[in-house]
Amino acid sequence: MYVTFDLWHVPRRAAARAAARMALDRPRLRRASGLTFSRLLGTGTGRRFTPLDADPSRWALLSVWDTPAAARNFERSTTIRAWARLADERWRVDLRPVAARGRWSGHAPFGVPADVDARHPIADDHGRAPVVAITRARLTPRRAVAFWHAVPPVAAELRGADGLLFTTGIGEAPIGYQGTFSMWRDGHALRAFAYQGQAHAAVVRRTPRERWYAEELFARFVVLGSHGTVRGVDPCEARRPTAVHTDDRRRIRDGQQAGGRQRTEGSGTADAGVAGAQ
């Protein structure tokens, strides 16, 4: 099982064409060899998970492959070439799933048993390499307003979390389908946020009682490789207490080398609900 997450930045003039790719690329993805699951995603700040958070300059593709070779072959596809013509920056991170629970549109896409409780560390959780958490939830419509009111304190706590390298809100639609992609310095930092963040812990306790979600998923991953940049920086190389966020409009132009660095596989897991599927 091999997972890739692509994030493209497009100039303002190309935003409408990028949005159109969300529909145009779906048939091509269904025909892609070795692709077992994929989602084209809009992105946003994740501060409230409403349409006001949307970032029309950044678009993402989450892909699950049966082999690394299938992912490499996809780099020559029509889909990747089309995005290359639109985008002025791309970042791709390669991942290995280590724990997951819940469903995404009725699927358990990451090849990890659905009954694995992602809140508990696994044996290799002592690693000091970057790790990723992905959450996804489909809101219960009548509970949506209450959920939106609960998000801002958790989002603020996340932005200030020690060891957070990168985060962005992700979603298949502007309303009702939302999640987060977050990268952490290591599993210890991810776990510290999950268990020590007061706002986050409060939302986790409320979730069963409030029944915000009609469907939810949480998954953890080891980072296998990072290629390209976000605003001129490879998030895996950030390694600083404050994160790189998709709502930061300042472009880093000086002293940064374009392109990513291949990372060595590390290990580490932890839990972070991040106001989404928890």
Q: What separation in angstroms does the CA of 56 have from each of 89, 241, 256? A: 14, 27, 25
> Domain ranges in the chain?
2-245
**Is residue 269 predicted with pLDDT exceeding 50?**
no
What confidence score (pLDDT) does residue 144 get?
67
Tell me, rounded to whole angstroms, the distance of Cα 179 from its chain centroid. 8
* Span 133-150, average pLDDT: 75
- Give the mean pLDDT of 89-107: 94
Q: State which amino acid sits at residue 148.
A: W
CATH class label, 2-245: alpha beta
pLDDT value for 200: 63
Give the pLDDT mean for 63-90: 97
Mean pLDDT of 93-106: 93
Give the pLDDT mean for 188-207. 71
The pLDDT, as a whole number, for residue 273 is 41
Say yes or no to pLDDT of 253 above 50: no
